[in-house]
Structure 1
Amino acid sequence: MKTRVITGIIALIIFIPFVVIGGIPLTLLVSLLGLIAVGELLFMKKRLLVSFEALISFLAVIVTILPNAFWASLPAQMFFNKKSLIYFFILLILIVTVLSNNKLTFDDAGSLVLGVLYIGFGFHFFLQARAEEWLAFVFGLIIVWLTDSFAYIVGRKFGKHKLIPRISPNKTWEGSIGGTLIATIAAVSFALVTNFAPEFNPFELIIVTVLLSIAGQFGDLIESAFKRFYGVKDSGNMLPGHGGILDRFDSMLVVMPLLVLMGLT
């Protein structure tokens, strides 16, 4: 527990200044996090990080993460746009299944493509939310951090009924509900005080916040599901007491896209 707290504090000290500054520094940091997250996925799949499919995956996740403004600034958008490049990388991975004589199977290729899109678009919308509406971005962070923290605290103190034991044996209904309740109170209060989303009335804000809190927990469970499938405890060991980048950003990768798609930014 002590290691977990110390690591969390150090990570926040490093991470928060980049979030506050935004722009290119944050884009570089988030791109690095995306590369590490894809590396963790490849590691769980027991694929070499220097393989051709790994290189394709690394390039594809960077393309997916980069902000829309970057692509709009390119002079030859007809040839260098995100959609065409993502399709090109998907096609390359499929070609590898042939050239490798099925050492990289179609299932392997599919999981890599899905993983890259999941990680890439999650971090892409993270950057988009920060760039478009700072207060909405903070609103999303409040939901993710408080849901995660208080689900853990309440679950340890009062948890008796397992949520989905085959996927995540330590999560409980009491922790899940407690985390959502506290996150909703805090996040809705923040939204009402700052008035960053005047088009949403208080009831709508409560509904949206509850949905985002639940979505964040599903993000955590999604990552737990594929860790269990690959037989690993953590996605990585970069953050002592926390695991890897996917372990720490799993909820964020789901909440930030929904934050944007719900029109809060």
Structure 2
Amino acid sequence: MKTRVITAVVALIIFVPLLIMGGAPLLILTLIMGVIAMSEILRMKHRFFVSAEAWVSFIGVVALILPNSFWQDVPLIKSAHIFFYILAFLLLLHTVFSRNHFNFDDAGTLTLAMLYIGTGFHYFFQADTKGLATVMFGMLIVWLTDSGAYMVGRAIGKHKLAPKISPNKTWEGSIGGSLVAVIVVASLYTIFNWLPAYNFIELLLFAIVLSIAGQLGDLIESGLKRHFNVKDSGNILPGHGGILDRFDSMLVVMPLMSILGMLI
């Protein structure tokens, strides 16, 4: 527990100022986190970080995280998605010339991982460009849901939510976590007029949808670890695991905020 607390404090000391600063410093941090998250997938796949498929994967994640404005001046390509397609094609081509050391399952896993991680962190950075209050809304929903689910689940949790994927999660905890997030968001809106661009009902609906999405993101990463038979995605954060362990919910919540129109 001591290690976990120390890691959290150090991480917040580094993370919060960069979040407030935004711009290039936050983009650099986001790119680093994206590359580390991709390395965790490669590690679970038992792939060398210096292999051809690893370099393609790292480049793909960076390309997808970069803001859309970056691609406006790139000749011919003009879009991260075109560049991503080229990289995905290279992975498919690699299956032909790798002498069976790299197959279609490997290509599919790494392509999906690039899309999952790159898109998630892209919209994390995009949310911050819309203002600190916007990105904090998404992060707060995730933190409140996670903390609320843990406390409620420990207190009254009986019915397993997904026993084969994450045996400690319960329906009671899941519902309780979402209620905590909604109640806190309602209170912040009422007391401080938080995010006044939206009315009360809109903000509550966003909170409910994002809270559920965050829990699904958590379960997706739990399923990933189950598939590869690992306890944590990595060990870069002592007591917390890897980047994917800490940002699994964010990688789903942030793109969904864009779909809901919050990042336009």
- In 2, are the aligned partners of 1:139 and 1:191 still within 8 Å (CA)? no
User: Who is 1:3 aligned against?
Assistant: 3
Q: Equivalents in 1 of 2:186, 2:257: separation in Å? A: 14
Equivalent runs, 1:1-265 vs 2, <5 Å: 1-72=1-72, 74=73, 76-192=74-190, 193-198=192-197, 200-265=198-263
- In 1, are the aligned partners of 2:22 and 2:129 still within 8 Å (CA)? yes
Q: Kindly report the root-mean-square deviation, in angstroms, between the aligned alpha carbons of the 2 structures.
A: 1.5
Give the match's secondary structure for 1:169: strand
- In 2, are the aligned partners of 1:44 and 1:230 still within 8 Å (CA)? yes
Query: Residue type of the partner of 1:41?
Result: I
Q: Equivalents in 2 of 1:107, 1:38: separation in Å? A: 16
- In 1, are the aligned partners of 2:68 and 2:79 still within 8 Å (CA)? no
The alignment-based identity, stated in percent, is 55
Give the match's secondary structure for 2:257: helix
Report how many residues are paired: 262
| TM-score normalised over the length of structure 1 | 0.94
Q: Equivalents in 1 of 2:92, 2:189: separation in Å? A: 45
Give the match's secondary structure for 1:175: helix
1:187 CA displacement: 2.1
| TM-score normalised over the length of structure 2 | 0.94
Q: Equivalents in 1 of 2:127, 2:185: separation in Å? A: 16
1:77 CA displacement: 3.9
- In 2, are the aligned partners of 1:188 and 1:209 still within 8 Å (CA)? no
- In 2, are the aligned partners of 1:139 and 1:190 still within 8 Å (CA)? no
- In 2, are the aligned partners of 1:235 and 1:247 still within 8 Å (CA)? yes
Q: Deviations over 1:19-40 (max 9, x none)?
A: 0000000000000000000000
Instruction: Identify which range, 223-232 or 94-103, moves more after superposition.
Output: 94-103
Q: Deviations over 1:40-72 (max 9, x none)?
A: 001111111111000000001000000112223
1:262 CA displacement: 0.4
1:95 CA displacement: 0.7
- In 2, are the aligned partners of 1:7 and 1:239 still within 8 Å (CA)? yes
1:160 CA displacement: 2.0
- In 2, are the aligned partners of 1:48 and 1:54 still within 8 Å (CA)? yes
Query: Residue type of the partner of 1:42?
Result: L
Runs of 5+ consecutive residues of structure 2 not aligned to the other structure: none
- In 2, are the aligned partners of 1:71 and 1:82 still within 8 Å (CA)? yes
Give the match's secondary structure for 1:224: helix
1:191 CA displacement: 4.0
1:208 CA displacement: 1.7
